[in-house]
Structure 1
Amino acid sequence: MVVSDQGGGTGALVTGMAWSTALGSDLDEVWQALLSGATGVAPVPSAHPLRNDQAAALPDLPMDLDPERRQYELGSRTLRAAVADAGLDVTDPRLRLVVGTSYGSHLDVPPVGLDRWGEVLATGLGMTRRPLMVSTACSAASDAILVGAALIAEGEEDVCVVGGVDVLTQAKRLGHSALGTMSPTALRAFDESHDGTILGEGAAFLVLERARSAQARGARVRGRLSGTGSANDAAGPTAPDPSGDTVVRAVTAALAAADRGTGEVGVLHAHGSGTPVNDDVESRGFARTFTNGAAPVVFATKGAFGHTLGATGALGAVALLLALRDKRVPPVPGLSTVMPGFPLPLPAGAAPLPFTGDVGLSVTLGFGGFTTCLALEVPA
């Protein structure tokens, strides 16, 4: 049973964005790699028995760096790049940082609290205001974006830097091995042979800005966050409610907040974790939501980036904005035969798939029942 759901219209403009992924950090180079079907998943050895020794680690961040330091380095460079992309300085006193993670380095190093790492990040960059922290499992980055958008919509802030950071650690790999969520072979989202996920690490940040602020300084606009929606099914600590209710409610709330209908959605970035349970929940939720001929193209990037846990929602939002810009989506890595009953078009095979429309959705599913949907648009 769904115990809570909410939506909000924002109108916040996206004036900057950046990501750090297993395929690199340059926006367009990584996007072209995705369009070509590349993946950053590779063997990452462990001293412990894992269900799969593969993962998606950053190629230029040494794995022997302790997890806390990796999290700081990853967050610092990505946040700085997003702010620079917006034409701002990271020490601008108007900036409010809202950042999410799942457990970050918390499971592998002496705990300093899930809030302290964000304060260290902001202080290290010379940011003058205390950050807001979000930890809602795999929806953390999406929820950080939602919170930043709400602050702008309610007149509390003019500019927010929002996103997520998560690192690959031994404890997370062991934990997911014990849970049975890891694939023994490969991440194949929405494929008939899907059997689990592969973990990764990454970061992404977006700069959300009030329209009058962006206009006053002549900022480049990459897109608009037109609506958000969230829901929680409270079904259990890890497995979601199989009915897909939270997907339906989160998507419906985001579209209502954006004043858009399902027929106006051209593209959807799915959670696409590759676990049969999550893929089935998304399939059911999409089938119940997109009716009467509405059929946005669906894509997913975890097969290329790995499942980056608390960072995945921000990475998905950046990928969605690039897809809306180019009007095509990359192939889904590992997808050859679409799972039975999937209701929407998917780019199965090696080639990108074109679409029409200027409205897109990004959906994330997190442990604990957290489901979040972001509605993003680009200028027509």
Structure 2
Amino acid sequence: MARVGTDVAVTGLGLVTPAGVDENTFWDGLCAGVSMARRCDELAGLPVDFGCPVDGIDLDAEIGGRSVWRMARFVKMALLAARRAVSDAGLSPRQWDGDRVGVVLGVGVGGVSALVDNVRRLDGGGAEAVSPLLVPMMMPNAAAGEVAIALRAHGPSLAPATACASGATALSLARDLLLDGRCDVVVAGGADAVLTPLVVSAFAGMGALSRRGGDPAEASRPFAADRDGFVIGEGAAVLVLERTADALARDGRPRALLTGAGSATDAHHPTAPDPSGAGARRAVEAALREAGWGPDQVDHINAHGTSTPLNDAMEAAVIAGLFPHRPSVTAPKGVLGHTLAASGAIEAAACVLTLEHGIVPPIANLDASSEEFGLDCVVGKPRAGRVERVLSHSFGFGGHNVVLALQRFGTDRPRLCGRGVLVNA
């Protein structure tokens, strides 16, 4: 299929995160560089009893209506983020052609809490005690389905599951749907909400989580020499994507360009990254090729930066090897914890805001003396300066590597002016 146009614009953002449940609060929290980790009542008594939950919002009240009873927490977060993203884009489901609107929402494992609750019901009360709503609450594609229903989106509806790269995979697929001409608008992102005793115990048992329980706010420390694991979080982010020409034709506001995306697989181990970084490197190189950039044109890297010994060492080596000009590096998981399937979408949204504001948020719990890799990590306070091109890294269990290339709108790209006349921005 011939591709339609070359540019894809981000025209709307919606966020539900541990740092804030709206764009401004999220951005302020990220720029403050202070971890959102705290002890969680639901995890009391476990070896790891802390995480980064989403606080300060009544999801049921925000969504409204009777349908909330059939939704798991990750679905509610995704739906709220999607509604806000569409509103931010200046679009309305009542006015668009729903047959040309797609939904792509990355997910991890679905409604774990609903599944656990109903296993207990089955054990305690037999089959009659199991909720008839269990399947739609726990199925991983529930977020994509519910968002499509709410937005009257009748185009392709997909739920990619590439572990912690799922949100980035969703944005990459959304870009393809637009450039292949299959959609005119795609609502894309990721959501996850598994801050449960079962999942936390499993991650802790495999040694993936930080055990720095004395002060949870100091536990997530990407690229620090004394990092010992990630802090689990939850959240959702949704971006509205359109072909740039279409957005401009309707007087929309391109907030940034999604200029390229690259994917590659380690084929190495179910949970550990390939220490050589070969898969991650291939994904970076693919994103650069698709964007048409040389490595020296990258101004900033939003790192996957999980705060685990293996990931950070591998990722730092890839960055140092490909980018000797030392672009600035940040890692939002220091503040947000690891929001799993949502992380790639949340971090893509952070990249959009960095491009808009010319500000790179700092990495929480990292200072120059504790960083061991020689990268240009932003520490202590936000760094101001013009940022034109950024890469966002996302790596997931199973060896999934996805890298997004985002560019400030108006940077060395032709844009439509007036009645379709091309001008240099």
- The 1-side partners of 2:58 and 2:404 are apart by 33
Is the CA contact (8 Å cut-off) linking 1:10 and 1:149 kept in structure 2? Answer: no
Q: Distance in 2 between matches of 1:287 and 1:341?
A: 12
What 5-or-longer segments of structure 2 have no aligned partner?
61-67, 116-133, 213-218, 412-425
In structure 2, the residue matched to 1:321 is: 352
Please give the residue correspondences for 1:157-236 in structure 2 after superposition, counting only pairs within 5 Å: 157-170=183-196, 171-185=198-212, 186-236=219-269
Q: 1:45: how far off? A: 2.3
Residue 32 of structure 2: aligned partner: 36
Partner of 2:182: 156
Aligned to 1:113: 139
TM-score, normalised to structure 2, is 0.82
Q: Which residue of 2 aligns with 1:70?
A: 73
Superposed, 1:298-317 pairs within 5 Å as 298-317=329-348
In 2, Cα distance between equivalents of 1:155 and 1:281: 37
Corresponding residue for residue 49 of structure 2:
53
Of 79, 84, 89, 2:82 maps to 79
Give the letter aligned to residue 123 of structure 1.
I
| Partners of 1:10 and 1:150 within 8 A in 2 | no
Structure 1 308/47 Cα, relative in aligned 2: closer, same or farther at 3 Å? closer
Change (3 A) 1:87 1:133: same
Amino acid at match of 1:371: N
Q: Tell me what 2:422 maps to.
A: none
Q: Please tell me whether residue 147 in structure 1 is matched to residue 173 in structure 2.
A: yes
Deviation at 1:311, TM superposition (A): 0.4
Q: Aligned partners of 1:210, 1:22: CA distance in 2, in Å?
A: 31
Q: 1:373 aligns with which of 382, 393, 403?
A: 403
SS, match of residue 368 in structure 1: coil
Residue correspondence of structure 1 range 83-94 to structure 2 within 5 A: 83-91=86-94, 92=96, 93=98, 94=100
Judging changes above 3 Å, is the alpha-carbon distance between structure 1 residues 155 and 280 closer, same or farther for their aligned structure 2 residues?
same
Q: Which runs of 5+ in 1 are unaligned?
A: 1-8
User: Which residue of the partner structure matches residue 8 of structure 2?
Assistant: 12
Q: Aligned partners of 1:42 and 1:34: how far apart in 2?
A: 16
2:192–2:342 CA contact under 8 A, matched in 1: yes
Displacement of 1:10 in angstroms is 5.2
CA distance in 1, matches of 2:329, 2:69: 36
Alignment RMSD, CA only? 2.3
Quote the offset at 1:210 in angstroms. 1.0
Distance in 1 separating the partners of 2:156 and 2:112: 20
Cα shift readout 1:276-330 (whole Å, capped 9, x = no counterpart): 1110110111122113xx2110001112111000000000001011112222211
Distance 2:167 2:174 in 1: 11
Question: 1:98 aligns to what SS in structure 2?
Answer: strand
Provide Cα deviations, 1:76-130, integer angstroms capped at 9, x if missing partner.
1110000110001145313211110111324751555322442133224443445
Structure 1 counterpart of 2:164: 138
Bigger fraction of residues in helix: 2
**Is residue 354 from structure 1 mapped to residue 384 from structure 2 by the alignment?**
yes
Contact 1:80 1:90 in 2 (8 A): no
After superposition, the Cα gap between the structure-2 partners of 1:47 and 1:160, relative to the gap in structure 1 and judged at 3 Å, is closer
Task: Tell me, in whole angstroms, the C-alpha distance in 1 between the residues paired with 2:114 and 2:310.
Answer: 28
Residue 103 (structure 1) aligned with residue 103 (structure 2): no
Aligned mates of 2:70, 2:271 — CA distance in 1: 24
More displaced, 46-55 or 258-267?
46-55
- Match of 2:376, SS state, is coil
Cα deviation, residue 338, structure 1: 5.6
Which deviates the most, 29-38 or 131-140? 29-38
Which amino acid is the alignment partner of residue 267 of structure 1?
A: H
Where do 4+ consecutive residues of structure 1 move more than 6 Å? 62-67
Instruction: Give yes or no for contact 1:243–1:281 (8 Å, CA) kept in 2.
Output: yes
Counterpart position of 2:365 = 334
Q: 1:189 to 1:157 in 2, by over 3 A?
A: same
In structure 2, the residue corresponding to 1:13 is in which secondary structure? strand
Aligned counterparts of 1:222 and 1:144: Cα–Cα separation in 2: 19
Deviations 1:170-224, CA, capped at 9 Å, x for gaps: 1221221111110011111001110000011111111110123112211011010
More contact order relative to length (CA 8 Å, sep ≥ 6): 1
Q: Which amino acid aligns with 1:372?
A: V
SS for the counterpart of 2:271 is coil
Structure 2 Cα separation of the partners of residues 347 and 24 of structure 1: 21
